[in-house]
Amino acid sequence: MTFATTDLCDAHEDKLAAGTLRVLAPALRPYGGAARFAGPAATLKLFEDNTLVRAALEEAGGGRVLVVDGGGSLRCALVGGNLGLLAQKNGWAGIVVDGCVRDSAELAACDVGVLALATHPRKSDKRGAGVRDVPVTVLGTRIAPGEWIYADADGVLVSDARLE
């Protein structure tokens, strides 16, 4: 996949002005082995419980990007090395976490994009709480299921539709 978020912004200034193309605040750090990734969003809204993250990544990804609204928690990790391998095995393009990850060396070895706020050594709870396939808010930006995510070293874009 070849694109640059900077070029997409330049080519679609009208969409930026209309709000159909949005840029996430620059607070996410890269942890996965894929530095550039894109695909339609699958969304989760949860807090300090990664049960739904595992369930989603166990499904065929089909090149989608899992967007996890973890409420910005910095008290535990929602994705680790095992889930990174699961995402790679099942064809997910990437994972965007409004929260923390762990096993950063293992994630870096996975051929999947992973962006998160920070690392944290503690694992999350397993209560099965949260919801899937709903609009979420990550870093102040609304993301609906099926919207397109484009991520590279310069940032993360959210588009109402696939960009050519």
Per-residue pLDDT of the chain (164 residues; tens, 9 = 90+): 789 999 999 999 999 999 999 999 999 999 999 999 999 999 999 999 999 999 999 999 999 999 999 999 999 999 999 999 999 999 999 999 999 999 999 999 999 999 999 999 999 999 999 999 999 999 999 999 999 999 999 999 999 999 98
Neighbours of 25 (CB within 10 A): 11
CA distances in angstroms from 12 to 38, 96, 163, listed in the order given = 16, 23, 9
Residue type, 84: G
How does pLDDT run across 5-14, given as a tens digit for each residue? 999 999 999 9
CATH superfamily of the domain spanning 5-159: Ribonuclease E inhibitor RraA/RraA-like (3.50.30.40)
Residue ranges of domains in the chain: 5-159
Q: Is the pTM higher than 0.85?
A: yes
85's enclosing H/E stretch is: helix 81-89
Question: Nearest 5 degrees, angle CA 157-CA 49-CA 123?
Answer: 100
Please compute Rg for the chain using Cα positions.
14
